[in-house]
Amino acid sequence: MSAKIEIARIRSSVLPGVIIGGHHEGWLNIVQQRYTASSERDDRFEESARYLIEDELAQAGLNVARSQPSSVFEEAVDDTEPGRFLIGGTMTKARLNSYQSWFKGDRTQDERTIRWELFDRHQAKVIYRREISGSAEAEGVDNPAATYEAIRASIRQLLAEPNFSAALDSPPGVETVSPARYEVAALAVSDQPLSIAQLTGRSVSSIVRIRTASGRGSGFLIDIFGISDYESSCRGFCVYGECRFV
């Protein structure tokens, strides 16, 4: 199976207030209203665009980490492994026009230019970047379906790019993890039980981040005597009651 791919956010770099099109009426398509880029972030639009892109990637046969289940049975699968790849897009250009005419009918046309980027977690860098335009037309005035289909047209062109496919098939780089040294102060033993606030405040210095080939996380460094008071170089994993060195 191919490496798992996740969808990052889809954002816009079009400056707020910039005219991106308008509403036209009549046989001569006379402009009645100007459309400008919004300064407000539309969470519902981003969420819908994310689902659309996930669907296109899945239909292309890619191993997609979905933000919501596509099947009623997916919630029963315990899979917390992060995706190796992250794909995100930035809209750099937008052209949105709607037309209302008794002769030609009502329609909405949209064209979006998106700068797609593919981030490889193993290499910790963007390994592919490309701007691709997609356009679409939908019935009705101000129909958002035209925008979604324009995004779909752009992602489909991206999936057809040989260099994009080659980037997804690239072998993972060898991760080199240098031993990190941690100086952890001991917790004084008290006859009185500590509150959560006291325990957290005293153990902040013992928080460590753990990363393996199959996942990552954080926790407290604990040995059989509690939180250690010595310097150590620890690679691998720590469990409650002891710290194993490898």
CA distance 95 to 112: 7
Given a cut of 80, whether residue 217 has pLDDT beyond it is no
Lowest mean pLDDT among 3-17, 45-59, 186-200: 186-200
Tell me: do 154 and 203 sit in the same domain.
no
User: Does residue 50 sit in the same domain as residue 17?
Assistant: yes
Contact 94, 126 (CB under 8 A): no
CA distance 207 to 76: 31
Statement: residue 224 has pLDDT above 90? no
- pLDDT higher than 80, residue 165: yes
Domain match, 204 and 160 both: no
Predicted local confidence at residue 141, as pLDDT: 94
Return d(Cα 228, Cα 242) in angstroms, integer.
10
Q: How far is CA 70 from its chain centroid?
A: 17
* Residue 38 placed within a domain: yes
Give the model confidence (pLDDT) of 89-98 as tens digits: 999 999 999 9
Looking at residue 232, its pLDDT comes to 41
Query: Residue 125 maps to which CATH number?
Result: 3.40.50
Q: Whole-angstrom Cα distance, residue 224 to residue 240?
A: 8
Higher pLDDT, 185 or 33: 33
Q: Containing domain of residue 36, as a range?
A: 5-168
The answer as to whether 16 is a domain residue is yes
The answer to whether residue 173 sits within a structural domain is no
At residue 206 the predicted structure's pLDDT band, cuts being 50, 70 and 90, is low
pLDDT of residue 238: 43
∠155-171-174 over CA atoms, to 5°?
A: 130
Whether residue 173 has pLDDT greater than 70: no
Assess whether 31 and 137 both reside in one domain. yes
- Residue 105: C-alpha distances to residues 25, 33, 150, 224 (Å): 10, 18, 20, 77
76 pLDDT tier (thresholds 50, 70, 90): very low
Are 97 and 188 within one domain?
Answer: no
138-155 b/e with 16+ CB inside 10 Å = b?
A: beeeebeebbbbbbbbbb
Same domain, yes or no, for 73 and 159? yes
- Max mean pLDDT among 26-40, 56-70, 134-148, 160-174 falls in 134-148
User: Does the residue 91 lie in any domain?
Assistant: yes
Residues 186 and 163 in one domain: no
Q: What is the pLDDT of residues 12-21, one digit of tens each?
A: 999 999 999 9
Region 117-139 average pLDDT: 95
Domain boundary among 112, 137, 168: 168
Task: Point out the domain boundary residue: 168, 191, 225.
Answer: 168
- Both 211 and 111 in one domain: the answer is no
Question: Which secondary structure element, helix H or strand E, spans residue 35, and what is its range?
Answer: strand 30-36
At 39, is the pLDDT very low, low, confident or very high (cuts 50, 70, 90)? Answer: confident
- Give pLDDT, residue 66: 75
The total number of structural domains that make up the chain: 2
For 21, 65, 237, the CA distances from 240, given in Å and listed in that order, are 61, 31, 10
Taking every pair of C-alpha atoms in the chain, what is the biggest distance, in angstroms?
87
E strand or H helix at 60, and its extent?
A: none
DSSP line for 150-204: HHHHHHHHHHT-HHHHHHHTSPPPPP-----EEE-PPPPP-SSPPPHHHHHHHHG
| Same domain membership, residue 113 and residue 43 | yes
148 and 57 share one domain: yes
